[in-house]
Structure 1
Amino acid sequence: MPAGTATVLETRSLVKRFGGLAATDDVSLKVERGARHALIGPNGAGKTTLINLLTGVLEPTSGTIALDGADITHLAPHRRVRRGVVRTFQINQLFNALTPLQSLALAVSVHLGRSARWWRPLGSDPRVVESTERLLTQFRLADVMNQTVGELAYGKRRLLEIATALACEPRVLLLDEPVAGVPEGERQEIFETINALPADVSILLIEHDMDLVFNFARRVTVLVNGAVFAEGDVATISNDPRVKAVYLGEDVHG
């Protein structure tokens, strides 16, 4: 598959077994270049397991993963990041003692291969300065850039985590429940920021908040019991009686 193809990330018959349990069951999925693709399903459907397979945290039992046609099935996680597959987590992975300014300067420095010098005064490296300032503005963090992460409102911490991922200049960004645990009053800022992410970044979003899913996604894949249950555009999925039945009685915000 040539690099210019429409598909940037693809799984083929991906299976992950834990003993006799198939957490991911024969999943074939295509993420198109520039995608706004949501992955939904009831609790225990295998969504996070799939993300862990895509990022190399888990090794598949069988099946393959390709990035721009190149097989990355057994590539180490840090090598996938270098190739542009970057994720966020359900629970943020930030350093509470750092500020957003320091956190992003560190992330940018690591991405640029200058991590050995990240602790020097920020103004000493123009590329780090430029990228860090852009991210602080883009993710609405400029007004809190000198507060420690531990002092930030939870919604701001979520924004910082996404900003940190974007500092790696991903080609594919995997957002794992970006509004999980965020109070209702802080979610709109995250919605707007995610919707404004660069068009050239392909995004696969896992989310239980259907408002975010249906306002963000152009394509939706539904997982049930580790397998692809339905797939289509937002209108098709939102009106599919089988999908509604899957969620009937489920706490979709749980």
Structure 2
Amino acid sequence: MSEQPIVLACEGLVKRFGGITATNDVTLRLRRGARHALIGPNGAGKTTLINLLTGVLDATAGRITLDGDDITRLAPHKRVRRGMVRTFQINQLFNTMTPLETLALVVSQQRGLGAGWWSALGRDAAVAERCAALLDQFHLAEVAQVRTEHLAYGKRRLLEIAIALACEPRVLLLDEPVAGVPAGEREEILQTVEALPAEVSVLLIEHDMDLVFSFADRMTVLVNGTVLTEGTPAEIEANPEVKAVYLGHEGASHG
């Protein structure tokens, strides 16, 4: 069976802050439909790399491509329009809006309806149908009319991922989706992440090794801004270097 085409890639990516090299010659390739995890200890450069991929930071050197097009200097919002969406970019939720209103706004903008989003929800059956489907998919239907500021933290994280999916991404960068979520609220997020559409290529940044190993089909380990290794979850778990610098410290066992 032939490999899927590469949808997102970076080649020789470097980011320097003065005399500090935060990202050092990183090359990474995300294939269509991938479930790819980016892991590494704190300070490894994961956030810097994601900020480079999404355009929040400008690269000092190297190249980023999306569907084969060079996007290295493209503005962040233009990368979103091209289908690359990051949960971290859009986690500033509107506290006074409900999940239904928030999703109606995003879906309407995505469909070019602009400022008429609320009337579109009542008038446009396609918008209402899409919102209902997202609310159901992300376990938000029962809180659809609750103001976001009153939602449990786990539900807020689910809403962030729902917003990202409402943008109809081809590439979704999930930035620590269960960070700070109480244990009792994590299961819904784990189930939702596992059930993301197969055609969406996902790059997951996460410290929760249970989530990483249950989700990923490929993993890249970043240490000190450099790619230590890449492979399948089984290869990563068995790698003595990874155990020494990361997994051993986490006390992780996923056999």
TM interval, short-chain normalised: over 0.9
Shift of the alpha carbon at 1:110? 1.2
- Which residue in the other structure is 1:25 paired with? 24
- Which residue in the other structure is 2:157 paired with? 158
Q: How has the CA–CA distance of structure 1 residues 172 and 121 changed in structure 2, closer, same or farther, with 3 Å as cutoff?
A: closer
**TM-score, normalised via structure 2 length:** 0.94
Q: Report whether the alignment pairs 1:134 with 2:133.
A: yes
**What are the superposed Cα offsets for residues 223-242 of structure 1, whole Å, 9 maximum, x if unpaired?**
00011001000000011111
Query: Conserved in 2, the CA contact under 8 Å of 1:85 and 1:170?
Result: yes
Map 1:16-95 onto structure 2 (within 5 A).
16-89=15-88, 92-95=91-94
Rounded Cα–Cα distance in structure 2 between residues aligned with 1:240 and 1:91: 35
Q: Tell me the percent identity.
A: 67
Rounded Cα–Cα distance in structure 2 between residues aligned with 1:152 and 1:90: 20
Map 1:179-190 onto structure 2 (within 5 A).
179-190=178-189
Report the count of equivalent residues. 249
Map 1:1-254 onto structure 2 (within 5 A).
6-89=5-88, 92-120=91-119, 122-247=121-246, 248-249=248-249
SS in 2 for 1:24: strand
Shift of the alpha carbon at 1:118? 1.0
**What are the superposed Cα offsets for residues 85-134 of structure 1, whole Å, 9 maximum, x if unpaired?**
00012993211111000010011011111122013262211221111111
Rounded Cα–Cα distance in structure 2 between residues aligned with 1:121 and 1:5: 37
Residue type of the partner of 1:153? A
SS in 2 for 1:231: strand
SS in 1 for 2:179: coil
**What are the superposed Cα offsets for residues 135-166 of structure 1, whole Å, 9 maximum, x if unpaired?**
00110100000001111111100000000000
**TM-score, normalised via structure 1 length:** 0.95
SS in 2 for 1:65: strand
For structure 1, which segment, 202-211 or 81-90, has the greater mean C-alpha deviation from structure 2 after superposition?
Answer: 81-90
Structure 2: runs of 5+ lacking an equivalent: none
Rounded Cα–Cα distance in structure 2 between residues aligned with 1:91 and 1:180: 16
Rounded Cα–Cα distance in structure 1 between residues aligned with 2:4 and 2:212: 26
Residue type of the partner of 2:123? S
Provide the alpha-carbon RMSD of the alignment: 1.7
Higher helix share: 2
Query: Conserved in 1, the CA contact under 8 Å of 2:90 and 2:164?
Result: no
Query: Conserved in 1, the CA contact under 8 Å of 2:108 and 2:120?
Result: no
